[in-house]
């Protein structure tokens, strides 16, 4: 048919219409296909376009074909549209679908929907990656700021206390001293009550077994004990050296007296207030305590600050005094040996000659190391403890406290406990001898 068009002729099944190299084929299955000569002279088939009604004319078919969206989606279909009658490709198809002109760049090149969708997805992915990087950097900065605030809040509170605004992670005590709350997350939790009780009870039992195992209760020569040796008990002992010498000389009261002497010397050196040349605690703790023990220690603020100091000091000294106790470099060795020397001046005259003396001294050394470790445990706790020697049970009452009670005098928050809470009972013995 060349460039002519059978404009008004009816096209039946199997009919063909051609206009400006646009070929329309009306299939026997009531479908219409169209093709366009390519640059290489080959036909490009665009597929099934629509179902053509019987008796349709070539003109109406060309107009209907030009209304389909698929015609304007490729460069070939754009060429097809340009060869159709003017204005026909902007009309609405009977099915109600509308066509749109191709999107062109300033150079006149059209962009397919697939390419446009790819660009859009790429932009979304790039934007998501960028947002993730920014969020990650911001969160890292926020974490560093929180760590700095936790560790430096006390210093920051003092430096900026004149400025307005809240100070995070700091609570104010009655005296106005700031305490970083973040420390509570770093320091270990207090020991259970049964651990404290077991430590104190075990020490009392070890002293009892030592006296009963290595010393005899038979008669000894008068004056065997040098009263000067009893000076190791100190001037604050609840019994005079003369009375104690009498109890030691009496075979019926010797065991009670020996247990009292041993316990008094050991326990008195477990306390932070003991002289640093004698203490069973780390000497540096006692020296520091004595250097700063000025002011009102009965106030709640001071009690809480003091508890934090003890807990922090103990935690920082874990490697030396807990993980490797009494290693070769442990400085407590010196005071342990000093205590053995002081005690042996009292105990030696009554030792059982049947027992090995080196074994006796080693057993005494183990008791002192046990006492030193337990003293460190009490020091590390937020609560405050005291040893109650039950002074009402003096010699005049016919009894003697030979091992003290352990009592808790402040709780974990520095509040005083009145009356003090008893953890272990005192051991009191009658003086029947």
Q: Is 427 within 8 Å of 402 (Cβ atoms)?
A: yes
Q: Which is nearest to 261 in space by CA: 173, 185, 155, 364? A: 364
The Cα–Cα gap between 279 and 318 comes to 18
User: 8: Cβ–Cβ under 8 A, 6 or more apart, which residues?
Assistant: 57, 58, 59
* pLDDT score, position 225: 74
Phi (first) and psi of residue 378, to 5 degrees:
-65, -40
Structure tokens at 56: 């349709």
Which H or E run contains 247? helix 241-249
Q: Does the bond joining 419 to the residue before it have cis omega, within 30 degrees of 0?
A: yes
Sheet holding 384-388, edge to edge: 384-388, 405-410, 416-424
CB crowding 391-417: b at 16 or more within 10 Å, else e:
eebeeeeebbbbbbbbbbbbbeebeee
Whole-number average pLDDT of the chain: 73
Which residue positions in the chain have pLDDT lower than 70? 1-111, 140-185, 222-223, 293-298, 392-396, 433
* pLDDT score, position 128: 79
User: 323: Cβ–Cβ under 8 A, 6 or more apart, which residues?
Assistant: none
pLDDT tens, residue by residue, 337-353: 999 999 999 999 999 99
User: 247: Cβ–Cβ under 8 A, 6 or more apart, which residues?
Assistant: 253, 254, 256, 257, 400, 431, 433
* pLDDT score, position 125: 78
| Residue positions counted in the chain | 433
The Cα–Cα gap between 97 and 411 comes to 83
The Cα–Cα gap between 248 and 251 comes to 7
The Cα–Cα gap between 271 and 149 comes to 35
Long-range contacts of 390-394 (CB under 8 A, 24+ apart): 390/426, 390/428, 391/238, 393/426, 393/428, 394/238, 394/239
User: 317: Cβ–Cβ under 8 A, 6 or more apart, which residues?
Assistant: 282
- The predicted model scores a pTM of 0.58
Other CB atoms within 10 A of residue 89 CB: 21
Query: CA geometry: angle at 413 spanning 408 and 417, to 5°?
Result: 35
**What is 312-351 written as a DSSP string?**
HHHHHTHIIIIISTT-TT-THHHHHHHHHHHHHHHHGGGB
* pLDDT score, position 132: 82
Q: Is 179 within 8 Å of 300 (Cβ atoms)?
A: no
* pLDDT score, position 397: 74
Other CB atoms within 10 A of residue 20 CB: 15
């Amino acid at each position: 048919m060349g460039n002519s068009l059978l404009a008004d002729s009816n096209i039946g099944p199997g009919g063909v219409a051609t206009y400006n190299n646009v070929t329309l084929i009306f299939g026997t299955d009531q479908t219409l296909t169209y093709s366009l000569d390519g640059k290489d002279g080959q036909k490009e088939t665009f597929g099934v376009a629509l179902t053509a009604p019987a008796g349709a004319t070539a003109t109406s078919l060309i107009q209907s074909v030009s209304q389909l969206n698929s015609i304007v989606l490729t460069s070939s279909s754009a060429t097809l549209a340009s060869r159709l009658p003017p204005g026909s490709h902007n009309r609405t198809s009977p099915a109600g679908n509308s066509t749109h002109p191709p999107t062109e760049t300033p150079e006149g090149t059209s962009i397919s929907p697939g390419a446009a969708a790819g660009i859009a997805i790429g932009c979304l992915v790039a934007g998501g990656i960028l947002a993730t990087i920014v969020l990650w950097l911001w969160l890292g900065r926020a974490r560093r700021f929180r760590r700095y605030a936790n560790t430096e809040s006390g210093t920051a509170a003092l430096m900026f206390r004149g400025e307005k605004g809240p100070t995070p992670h700091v609570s104010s005590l009655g005296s106005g001293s700031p305490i970083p709350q973040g420390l509570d997350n770093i320091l270990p939790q207090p020991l259970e009550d049964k651990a404290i009780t077991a430590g104190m009870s075990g020490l009392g039992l070890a002293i009892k077994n030592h006296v009963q195992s290595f010393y005899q209760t038979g008669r000894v020569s008068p004056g065997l004990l040098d009263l000067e040796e009893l000076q190791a008990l100190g001037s604050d002992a609840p019994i005079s050296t003369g009375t104690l010498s009498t109890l030691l000389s009496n075979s019926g009261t010797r065991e009670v007296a020996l247990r009292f002497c041993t316990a008094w010397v050991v326990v008195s050196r477990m306390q932070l207030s003991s002289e640093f040349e004698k203490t069973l605690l780390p000497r540096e703790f006692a020296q520091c305590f004595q250097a700063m023990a000025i002011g009102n220690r009965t106030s709640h603020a001071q009690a809480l600050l003091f508890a934090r100091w003890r807990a922090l000091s103990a935690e920082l000294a874990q490697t030396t005094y807990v993980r490797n106790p009494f290693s070769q470099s442990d400085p407590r060795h010196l005071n342990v040996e000093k205590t053995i020397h002081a005690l042996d001046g009292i105990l030696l005259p009554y030792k059982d000659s049947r027992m090995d003396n080196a074994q006796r001294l080693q057993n005494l050394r183990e008791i002192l190391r046990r006492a030193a470790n337990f003293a460190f445990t009490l020091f590390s706790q937020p609560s405050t403890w005291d040893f109650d020697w039950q002074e009402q049970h003096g010699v005049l009452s016919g009894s003697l406290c030979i091992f003290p009670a352990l009592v808790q005098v402040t709780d974990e928050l520095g509040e005083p406990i009145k009356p003090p809470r008893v953890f272990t009972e005192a051991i009191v013995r009658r003086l029947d001898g």
